Amino acid sequence: MSNIKREQLVVIGNGIAGISTVEQIIKLGGSFDITVIGQEPHPNYNRIMLSYVLEGSKTLDDIVLNDWKWYEDNRITLHTDVTVTGIDAERKIVETDKGITVPYDKVIMATGSSPFILPVPGSDKKGVIGFRNIADCTQMLQAAQTYKKAAVIGGGLLGLEAAKGLVSLGMDVTVVHLMQDIMESQLDHTASEMLQRELEGQGIRFLLGKQTTEILGDARVTGLRFKDGEELEADLVVMAVGIRPNVAAAKLSGIEVNRGIVVNDYLQTSVPGVYAVGECSEHRGACYGLVAPLFEQGQVLAKHLCGVEGQPYEGSIVSTKLKISGVDVFSAGEFMEQAEHSVITAKDDWRKTYKKILMRDNIIVGAILFGDVSDSASLQSMIRKQTAMTEEIYHSIMGTECAGKGKGKAFSLEQMPDDEIVCGCNGVTKKAIVDAVTLQGLTTVDEIKACTGATRSCGGCKPVVEQILQSVLGDGFKTAGKQGICACTTLDRDEIIAEIRAKGLTTTKEVMHVLGWSHPEGCSKCRPAIHYYLAMLNPVTHQEEMESRFVNERMNANIQKDGTYTVVPRMYGGVTTPEDLKKIADVSLKYDVKVVKVTGGQRLDLIGVKKEDLPKVWEELDMPSGYAYAKSLRTVKTCVGSQFCRFGTQDSMGMGAFLEEKFERLDFPAKFKMAVNGCPRNCAESCTKDIGIVGNDGGWEIFIGGNGGTKARLADSFCKVKTDEELVEICGAVMQYYRETGKYLERTSEWVERMGLDTIRTAILDDPKQRKELVERIEVALQQVEDPWKKVLNDEKLRGTLYQDARPVSSK
């Protein structure tokens, strides 16, 4: 058996469609050596969760479906940031833009789609973008820091999600839509009108029936002009008017292409050995832009490639759910009534709910739900199976009493096929959930989430997961599993700290083992958190665990989307010397640094350093790291203060440099920023810092809990002090109290609101004894810390191991 040659399978595309197919192949025991080629510099992430990244409720780490380690564990060769240019079917070679060629026996094309950009004058201006990937999110997040007026062209699913995200970033957002109803491809007029009112209440404006004819501005967009001559001011324009399948490589390879890559019922293209799945494919004249069909196609293809008997793919009945927090909308099948339809509707203006079921010859063929989507999975299943309407189903969906029976129950586990997808975001079937319950003994939704991935994204499938658990377990179903710091544990932050203290735990692995982690190796959320808690509790005895740090902390630099890094040397208080500037210039030239940027924290950022050059760059700079990547003190921003400014009353530069040198290197729950102003004119912007300090004639005023990021917050006035010694003491006490009571990744802006300003004042200002103890503890911690990177750079073996590591903990 060991001498049998494994077939070479190449997957072109590292998105949901391609990787879900690979997951199915692995589950079926397929014998392939697998190579995945992806255009983006990231592992596989959940593209449909981008709206949550945009609004700030999730990070890239949160939406990663398969991290770097998953590829390693499954012996998958992954090429990121690489574009396939063609397939040589005669030589059976996949060719790329980076000169990489990969031989194949089978190829899966999962190239996805690209946003359609309206061909109007000005569409190439700066500030005009699509909304399709993490890079688009990054552009929007950056734009929101500078610009305030956004226009989203397109009132469909993606456009509305983008609009809500931009509103959450504090932008003034207008959705421009050609039709008179938003989401007109999924909703009728009633549901569309209800949705519009709800979104207007959340701050989104709408211009309906407007055709964009020109994008205004010189180099950068300044607005839109419409066919009726009206104009709209905008300095960011997001195009969300549709998608186009990515078929360029298929065309160049001689594969049959119509709108998408043409495939048969087993997802085969016109070229033998080449298959296509997902948004790039066209099956029976249909291209699907929603996620559920991608999983259905992947299941069929995986069985076909593995030689497992299965049904052909015959198309999908699509359904839609809007992923906007606070808004529940569902649509499936036919939704606009025609003469042949029988229609059931129920509208409740007080509860803001709307239900509509369409039938043809008493067979359920479509549905719309607004406000209450708990029956969405049941209805989708009925539409797919062409279920006939019954009294029981009617009363269950409409919430009325069924004569002699009470309320009906539409859900039936027995009637649901094993391969029916319950979680459309992650492609989890009914069978996967039932197996997790019956074979692994899981009893809660949280356990199912950790094991299968169901409910971990939008959460829309949670009601069906609960119904499956209820059906299988009966009275053994636990309705509410306790939330832990991540899916690996049900323990929260305080419980973990208490257990570490009580049991004398000293390492991350020991904590996870003793406290019964469901995943023995933990995840990218809990490993760094435990590492921080251990160091905070036992600063003298704690041993550094580099493997529990995020990639940026491990590399001593910030990773960028192209795989290069940015290096930020420390400049205490924003002050440097001509000698240090010359070193930065010399190193930048020697190592071909792409850009040297002045940061908002008054430092210089060397952008575009190659990974292999990082040790030499730091060695030749011979400057301390600015920790621009760390959960620690980043910068202390200062004005010129009394040394030079005619308005300055205090030496802000001297105090800023002192504070930065004193507290650098110390870990915090999250990144930490400070500012020192020499007078109340606030040139260093103390009002948006974790600790802001403002000088006055009588001394200093201290502010805490400010944030200038995606969740902006003005700092609260904490106290006034007369001497420099009092200032340093109280700053140290605040920092240590935050270190000891803050949750991992919780900024001080969130910490202050959770703890309460009065509680923090009482602990530090009203209790001199406790303040003294806090200062003593932070001094002990400061005595233990030294820049770990000095040790790395001075240890050739350690340095080589670190910088050759290609699979670090994912960035945060």
Residue 470 has pLDDT above 50, yes or no: yes
Position of tokens 């990218």? Answer: 524
**Residues 37, 12 contacting (CB under 8 angstroms):** yes
Euclidean distance between CA atoms 191 and 208, whole angstroms: 16
Please report, for the domain that includes residue 280, its CATH number.
3.50.50.60
Helix (H, G, I), strand (E, B) or coil at 318: coil
- Average pLDDT in the 496-517 region? 90
Residue 789 has pLDDT above 50, yes or no: no
- Within this chain, do residues 661 and 781 fall inside the same structural domain, yes or no? yes
Domain range for residue 355? 328-398
Neighbour order of strands in the sheet with 341-348: 319-321, 329-333, 363-370, 353-360, 341-348
Q: Is residue 16 part of a domain?
A: yes
Position 221 scores a pLDDT of: 96
Position 749 scores a pLDDT of: 92
pLDDT tens profile 307-335: 999 899 999 888 887 766 667 898 999 98
Q: Is residue 612 part of a domain?
A: no
Kindly indicate the confidence band of residue 473, based on its pLDDT and cuts at 50, 70 and 90. confident
Where would I find the H helices in 307-349? none
- Within this chain, do residues 229 and 261 fall inside the same structural domain, yes or no? no
Euclidean distance between CA atoms 245 and 263, whole angstroms: 13
Tokens describing residue 253: 């390879």
Position of tokens 């062409």? Answer: 386
Helix (H, G, I), strand (E, B) or coil at 381: helix
Whether residue 306 is annotated as binding a ligand: the answer is no
Mean pLDDT (the chain, rounded): 87
Residue in 450, 460, 514, 513 with CA at minimum distance from that of residue 484: 450
Rounded to whole angstroms, what are the CA distances from 465 to 413, 447, 541, 615, 696? 11, 11, 45, 49, 60
Concatenating the DSSP letter of every residue in 583-619 gives HHHHHHHHTT-SEEEE-TTS-EEEEEE-GGGHHHHHH
Sign, CA dihedral 733-739-743-747, equals positive
| Last residue within a domain, chosen from 548, 575, 591 | 548
Burial (Cβ within 10 Å: 0-12, 13-18, ≥19) of residue 284: exposed
Percentage of residues of the chain with pLDDT beyond 90? 52
In terms of residues, how long is the chain? 812
Euclidean distance between CA atoms 107 and 608, whole angstroms: 34
Q: Is residue 584 part of a domain?
A: no
Euclidean distance between CA atoms 37 and 40, whole angstroms: 9
Alpha carbons within 13 A on the beta-carbon side of 693: 35
Rounded to the nearest 5°, which phi and psi values hold at 116? -80, 125
- Average pLDDT in the 218-236 region? 96
- The more confidently predicted of residues 698 and 812 is 698
pLDDT tens profile 655-677: 999 999 899 889 999 999 999 99
Kindly indicate the confidence band of residue 414, based on its pLDDT and cuts at 50, 70 and 90. low
Residue 351 has pLDDT above 60, yes or no: yes
Distance of CA 534 to the CA centre of its chain: 27
Is pTM beyond 0.75 here? no
- Average pLDDT in the 722-751 region? 94
Q: Is residue 312 part of a domain?
A: no
Euclidean distance between CA atoms 273 and 260, whole angstroms: 18
Q: Is residue 339 part of a domain?
A: yes
**Residues 330, 376 contacting (CB under 8 angstroms):** yes
Distance of CA 762 to the CA centre of its chain: 37
Q: Which helix (H) or strand (E) holds 192?
A: helix 189-201
- Within this chain, do residues 646 and 782 fall inside the same structural domain, yes or no? yes
Spell out the SS3 assignment of 250-297. Answer: HHHCCCCECCCEEECCCCECCCCCEEECHHHEEECCECCCCHHHHHHH
pLDDT tens profile 416-469: 777 777 877 677 888 888 888 888 888 888 788 878 878 776 666 777 888 888
Angle at 747 between CA 627 and CA 565, to 5 degrees: 30
Burial (Cβ within 10 Å: 0-12, 13-18, ≥19) of residue 312: exposed
Whether residue 461 is annotated as binding a ligand: the answer is no
pLDDT tens profile 276-304: 999 999 999 999 988 888 988 999 999 99
Q: Is residue 28 part of a domain?
A: yes
- Average pLDDT in the 257-262 region? 97
Euclidean distance between CA atoms 281 and 799, whole angstroms: 46
Please report, for the domain that includes residue 369, its CATH number.
3.30.390.30
Position 420 scores a pLDDT of: 75
Position of tokens 């609960």? Answer: 466
Q: How many domains does the chain have?
A: 6
Angle at 131 between CA 421 and CA 188, to 5 degrees: 60
- Within this chain, do residues 92 and 134 fall inside the same structural domain, yes or no? no
- Within this chain, do residues 769 and 691 fall inside the same structural domain, yes or no? yes
Residue 371 has pLDDT above 50, yes or no: yes
Position 325 scores a pLDDT of: 60
Position 679 scores a pLDDT of: 92
- Average pLDDT in the 556-580 region? 85
Position 663 scores a pLDDT of: 92
Tokens describing residue 682: 């606030």
Rounded to the nearest 5°, which phi and psi values hold at 367? -160, 150
- Average pLDDT in the 187-204 region? 92
Percentage of residues of the chain with pLDDT beyond 70? 91
- Within this chain, do residues 779 and 640 fall inside the same structural domain, yes or no? yes
Kindly indicate the confidence band of residue 415, based on its pLDDT and cuts at 50, 70 and 90. low
pLDDT tens profile 126-177: 999 999 899 999 999 889 889 999 999 999 988 998 998 898 888 999 999 9
Position of tokens 């079921």? Answer: 357
Least confident of 70-74, 228-232, 372-376: 372-376
**Residues 396, 220 contacting (CB under 8 angstroms):** no
Tokens describing residue 320: 């839609």
Position of tokens 């200038």? Answer: 708
Alpha carbons within 13 A on the beta-carbon side of 471: 17
- Within this chain, do residues 372 and 223 fall inside the same structural domain, yes or no? no
- Within this chain, do residues 106 and 254 fall inside the same structural domain, yes or no? yes
pLDDT tens profile 56-114: 777 888 888 899 999 999 999 999 999 999 999 999 999 999 999 999 999 999 999 99
Where would I find the H helices in 609-723? 614-621, 652-663
- Within this chain, do residues 446 and 298 fall inside the same structural domain, yes or no? no
Residue 788 has pLDDT above 90, yes or no: no
Concatenating the DSSP letter of every residue in 385-410 gives HTPBP-HHHHHHHHT-PBTTTBS---
Position 692 scores a pLDDT of: 95
Tokens describing residue 248: 């360029």
- Average pLDDT in the 478-484 region? 57
Residue 409 has pLDDT above 50, yes or no: no
Least confident of 363-377, 466-480, 680-694, 695-709: 466-480
Q: Is residue 720 part of a domain?
A: yes
Residue 479 has pLDDT above 60, yes or no: no
- Within this chain, do residues 657 and 779 fall inside the same structural domain, yes or no? yes
Q: Is residue 187 part of a domain?
A: yes
- Within this chain, do residues 679 and 764 fall inside the same structural domain, yes or no? yes
- Within this chain, do residues 437 and 374 fall inside the same structural domain, yes or no? no
Whether residue 683 is annotated as binding a ligand: the answer is yes
Whether residue 645 is annotated as binding a ligand: the answer is yes
Please report, for the domain that includes residue 425, its CATH number.
1.10.10.1100
End-to-end CA distance of the chain: 43
